[in-house]
Structure 1
Amino acid sequence: MPIDRHIIDQINEKTDIVALVSPYVNLVKKGKNYMGQCPFHDDKSPSFSVSPEKHLAKCMACGEGGSPIVFYQKIKNVSFPEAVKALAQPLGIEVDVEVNSNPTLKEHELMKEASSFYTFYLSNSTYGKTALNYLEKRGILKEDIAHFEIGLAPKEKDALYQILKNKGFDPTMMVDLGLVKQREDGSYYDLMTKRITFPIHDKEGRVVGFSGRTLEDDPVKYLNTPETKIFKKGEVLYHLFQASRDIRMKKKVILYEGFFDVIASYKSGLGNAVATMGTALTKQQALLLKQVTSDVLIAYDGDNAGQQATMKAIQILEEARLRIDIVSLKDGLDPDDYLKKYGPEAFQVAFTKTVDPLVFSYEFHKKGLDLKNSNDIQEFKTRIKRMLRLKDQSIQEIYLKQLAKDIGSSYDSVMPKDNSYGTPDQKPFLPKPKPAPVKSLKKYYSAEIQLFIAMTLNYDDARRIDDALGTQYVADVDLFKLRGHLMLGYYKTYEIFDLETYKSTLTPELLDVFESKVENTLVWKITPKFEETNITDLLSVMKNIINEKRYIQVMEAIKNENEAYTQTAYVEEQKKIKNQMEKGKVKS
């Protein structure tokens, strides 16, 4: 059930908002209010205002923040019910709200214990001195070790197993989580030994797995936790949880391939860094990034494998509608080696010199081709055509002119007669657009969008509108799905509509629908307020859609001389429906 509005107001009014914000912002009293640097963006001058009188904490520059509950939700990156429950508890306010229980609580406790053991062993053992010397040679100091919770798996074959067993953890769970293995004789041994350990956290900050870097002469340099019920390699990003605040402040994330690249970035002052742990970027990881930023800087290794991975990442990130830039480090060095060779200052400068994905892709496609060879010229043209397939005309013209120049030909020659590249009068390579709404149905699409927006502004209105429209009065199936999710999904947990929280609950498909059909409309952008008469009028418009749809079908049948009826019968039905529509017509 939705949280009672009275409870929400009570929590917001009784929470000491200055005390709530102070751990995250250095506040200075200015008159009635307090000011400080915004914790949600890279704030050069104090823009974050805290008003004890109004119970608000909000940035005057970026707009982030709000009531105590909303501030807590955003700064802690938790759900609305979790924020409500967390703030209600110290106030002694009882809240009848179900926060999703953690069915894997024991598993996460076990992984936390394993991580604690590894970090303790690194700093408190003879073998740990060897590991610390190795890390120091790589420029990793004590403060870096603490931030990344780096540890060490001992030489002993079952040290971790014995520690966890003595703490009362089930050996079967240890096996299931990939920490230990079982021999045929029934005895247990640790998965990782003699390895520096890097804990991997999920987006909530819980340890879900490890990657171990060998300290010995082992052909397997890195050994990772196998996939388990809490660890899916393609669904997590290294350092994302720790970097979330930096990412929000800088409104950009740097995407690397490996752990040491992220550590190098952090040491150089670029803490908004995450890594894919040496694997190809996945769609799930791209959506994780989209939850914290819309701007991604790819900084993969400069070798051929790194460039191939960059090309794949560009495609995944573009599909997720993220802005992309690429940094190419000179000498083909990976980020960690570049920092060692040139130092932190040069490292930061290098990250200001980026190229857009088309520049990178163009050079990548040209690489290794002999542009005096006719076969290579044809291959190059094919690659560039594919690259430009979804780009607008002005972008295509720029690159087609560059293509003509590179192959020593004219611009006209790269514009085939079959129009596979397009003509100046067309937008080539664009996918076929979805059929435009039938002209006479446009007012219904408009009404349905406005009603959906009204549903996001008030829960009581949302219930009334949903009951009135039901499954019968629908102009657009996608909007119908959004409406269903809003009522049966979102509003089952949240009473107040919060844009970012709502978007985080949508599937990728529904997120695309919401962004394209609702969020990008003018009606949404002007944040309207709907009066009772507005909603009543819009509902009246929608009530007539069934007759309108039937009328269109009849007209289409007359046009096609459908054999099921005679043309005369259709004309008669058309007149009948037209009369019904006129009787029920309401001005929209």
Structure 2
Amino acid sequence: MVDLSNFVPEDVIEDIRNANDIVDVISDYVQLNKQGRNYFGLCPFHDEKTPSFSVTQDKQIFHCFGCGKGGNVITFLMELEGLTFIETIKYLADRRGIELPQSIVQTTKTQATSSDEQILSAYKWLEKLYHYLLRFAKDGQEGKEYFAKRGLTNETIDLFKLGYAPNQKTFTASFLEKKGFHLQQLQKAGILINKSNGETIDRFYGRVIFPIRNHLGVIVGFGARSIDKQAPKYLNSSESQLFQKSKLLYNFDLAKKHIRKENEAILFEGYMDVISAYQAGIKNVIATMGTSLTESQARLLRRYVETVIICYDSDEAGIEATYRAAHLLEQVDCHVKIAVLKDGFDPDTYIQTYGGDNFINKVLQPSETFMSFYMRYLKKDFKLQSKSDQLRYIQTVLKEIAKMNSSIEREYYLKVLASEFNITLESLNQEIKTFLKTNQDQQDNRKKDSYTKKATHFYQQKRLLPAYHNAERQLIVYMLQDRTITDKVKEELGVAFNIDQHKIIVTHLYAYYEEGHPPDISLFIEKLEDESLKHLVAEITMTSPVYEVSSDEIKDYIRIIREEYEDVSYINKLKKEQKMAEQQNDPLTAAKIALKIIEQQRK
């Protein structure tokens, strides 16, 4: 695709970047906590359990101390979302209600020719069509009656853009063809189906439609439910690069801000559970796509929130699914609670029967801990009237209790066990010591491995860097914040830095100031094209301390850099002379030069 950054004037880019505070934008993806001047959270670019991802508001940049990623708000979205520059600019402009100049909008429209963009466009048209038919057309009456029976208001139907695919199998194909879409491409995407008789039909005909949006609010597929006896009862869009059930959570785009506000997410199994809860005023609600929770979804949730309440159906299948989901969420360090529904209810029917307030007060608030649920869940695998099974059950529970970090929690559940099975607390404490020691050994090994992995090249360099290298890094930090310092360095050193990447950075920095730009680290990063340089600038500015600096200190940095540069230049000159002496078959001269080189390197 053509690089469209040239089509967007610099002042427009600057207005958009300044309107989108980096902390606000990244908070849409990561739960950030303020520590001192910076914000920290779990890195979205790699898996980690201890936050090493840092965002600085005053510099408007981010940097991960674990994987080395770094940059500004535009870099962040381009790398995380895989967006082009112009897509990022459009997204940020829309986010803050900034209108792009019409010339830019038209230019970008001509570029929207990729297969994915065409499919997304088809989904938008279908969302409008299905929703219109449901709300206003005779052909959508069946769907309208279905949702009315399920207790949904028109406002809720409009908010979730619920729809109905008409029973006329070829209606959708004709509609999309008239809009200029190629049926073959839509068949390949699974929107339409080509029958053996050559007829092209709607994949979802005769079903109510639930549009599926990604976390950015972009529709990427549909979920559909049969309202008669048509099989299968539930049907989703085909798996594709755009629609991956294992990575999507229903309603996540609307729920994100409420999840952050409440600092907990409520996880359901079905679309209607989410919609009923949302209509009842419970808005931090999400659901899987009719499948078991996946590790990707669990990690996504953990980036946003610590506490997840699982509220699945109360039948046997729901209880099994609850255990699997809870186990996955525990593994990614979520604090898990289980909301228990009585009498065979699912969340939707409970809310429709008793209302949202009762659901909050009698289902969500009394949620049990994972351990309480686990102890209850585990009993189905043992015949507890048998002494041997009792002992095996106790051993299994002790292994799980031993994994708890809190000694208070451990003692609480040991007391529950002691009371239930008439065992002394002392004997249980004695028994659990073996499991605690095993867990401690495993944790020590993991910490050792984690430390080794985290001691990445920039950490090692920070500890082991020679004086001239540290001087160059520190000088670059001051140059990024003060043009007069940059002018002095340019006059006295030029590009005579010793590290090649530093030479490139200062060359760009000289040009940046000559173009009349202000000292602005985020803007400077935006001007760099090389991703590795963007990461390095972010890393240097986040890890090098900034103090009030005197002219004498700047002179000292320059002196250290120059001395190393001159030493290296002198050694290189000697090496050339040594090579020439060897070529002229003069071993005595070559040996004398070698001694000079050794003496110079020892200085």
Q: TM-score normalized by structure 1?
A: 0.63
CA contact (8 A) 1:12 1:68 kept: no
Residue of structure 2 in register with 1:302 after alignment: 314
Task: Determine which of 220, 238, 248 is the counterpart of 1:208.
Answer: 220
Q: Which stretch shows the higher mean deviation, 154-163 or 124-133?
A: 124-133
Are the counterparts in 2 of residues 261 and 335 from structure 1 also a CA contact under 8 Å?
yes
Pairwise CA distance, 1:362: 2.3
Measured at CA, do residues 124 and 84 of structure 1 come closer, stay the same or move farther in structure 2, by a change above 3 Å? Answer: closer
d(CA) in 1 for partners of 2:498 and 2:317? 56
* Aligned equivalent of 1:272, options 273, 284, 296: 284
Per-residue deviation at 1:234? 0.6
Is 1:421–1:429's contact at 8 Å kept on the other side of the alignment? no
AA in 1 matched with 2:169: K
TM-score scaled by structure 2?
0.61
Contact 2:213 2:253 in 1 (8 A): yes
Question: What secondary structure sits across from 1:420 in the alignment?
Answer: helix
The answer to whether the 8 Å contact 2:403/2:439 transfers is no
Secondary structure (helix, strand or coil) at the match of 1:200 reads strand
Partner of 1:529: 546
Is 1:329 equivalent to 2:341 in the alignment? yes
Q: 1:331 is paired with a residue of what secondary structure?
A: coil
Counterpart position of 2:240:
228
Kindly provide the amino acid, as one letter, of the partner of residue 168 in structure 1: G
Verify the 8 A CA contact 1:459 1:496 in the aligned structure 2: no
Q: Distance in 2 between matches of 1:176 and 1:268?
A: 39
The residue aligned with 2:230 is 218
Letter in 2 for 1:193: Y
Long gaps (5+) in structure 1: 25-37, 42-62, 469-486, 503-522, 544-579
Contact 2:314 2:341 in 1 (8 A): yes
Q: CA deviation at 1:393?
A: 6.6
1:388 Cα offset (Å): 3.0
Matched residue, 1:287: 299
Q: 1:492 to 1:151 in 2, by over 3 A?
A: farther
Q: SS state of the match for residue 434, structure 2?
A: coil
In the other structure, the counterpart of 1:379 is 392
Amino acid at match of 2:379: K
- Which structure ranks higher in relative contact order (CA pairs < 8 Å, sequence separation ≥ 6)? 2
Q: Distance in 1 between matches of 2:418 and 2:255?
A: 44
Query: For residue 331 of structure 1, what is the amino acid of its counterpart?
Result: D
Give the count of matched residue pairs. 458
**Contact map agreement 1:208 1:231 (CA 8 A) in 2:** yes
What is the aligned counterpart of 1:421 among 431, 435, 438?
435
Give the AA of the match of 1:432.
N
Q: 1:398: which partner in 2? A: 412
Alignment of 1:170-189 (within 5 A): 170-189=182-201
Deviation at 1:246, TM superposition (A): 2.2
Instruction: Give me the whole-angstrom Cα distance separating, in 2, the residues matched to 1:71 and 1:426.
Output: 40
What do the CA deviations read for 1:138-196 (whole angstroms, capped 9, x no partner)? 11110111111100011112111111112121112211221211122322122112110
Deviates further, 273-282 or 7-16: 7-16
1:558-569 to 2 correspondence within 5 Å?
none
1:411 aligns with 2:428: no
- In the alignment, the residues of structure 2 paired with residue 321 and residue 278 of structure 1 have an alpha-carbon distance, to the nearest angstrom, of 24
Is the contact between residue 201 and residue 207 of structure 1 (CA under 8 Å) also seen in structure 2?
yes
Contact 1:255–1:296 (CA under 8 A) maintained in structure 2: yes
Distance (Å, rounded) in 2 between the aligned partners of 1:64 and 1:165:
50
**Pair 450,391 (structure 1): closer, same or farther in 2 beyond 3 Å:** farther
RMSD, aligned CA: 5.4
Residues 265-274 or 238-247, more deviating = 238-247
1:359 partner SS: helix
Instruction: Structure 2: give runs of 5+ residues left out of the alignment.
Output: 31-54, 62-71, 481-496, 503-527, 565-598
Give identity over the alignment, percent: 26
In our comparison, the structure showing a higher alpha carbon Rg is 2
Instruction: Give yes or no for the alignment of 1:357 onto 2:370.
Output: yes
Decide whether aligned partners of structure 1 residues 223 and 10 sit closer, same or farther in structure 2, where only a CA change above 3 A counts. Answer: closer
| 1:197–1:406 distance in 2 versus 1, CA, 3 Å | same
Equivalent residues in 2 for 1:387-536, closer than 5 Å:
387-392=400-405, 394=407, 395-414=409-428, 420-422=434-436, 427=440, 430=443, 432-435=445-448, 448=462, 467=501, 529=546
Q: 2:311·2:347 contact (CA, 8 Å) conserved in 1? A: yes
Higher alpha-carbon deviation: 401-410 or 195-204? 401-410
Q: Deviation digits for residues 482-510 of structure 1, max 9, x if unmatched?
A: xxxxx99965668985xxxx9xxxxxxxx
C-alpha contact 1:211 1:223 (8 A) present in aligned 2: yes
**Partner secondary structure for residue 421 of structure 1:** helix
Match of 2:329 in 1: 317
Inter-partner Cα distance in structure 2 for 1:165 and 1:428: 64
Deviation at 1:72, TM superposition (A): 11
Instruction: Summarize the Cα distance change of 1:384–1:465 in structure 2 as closer, same or farther, 3 Å threshold.
Output: farther
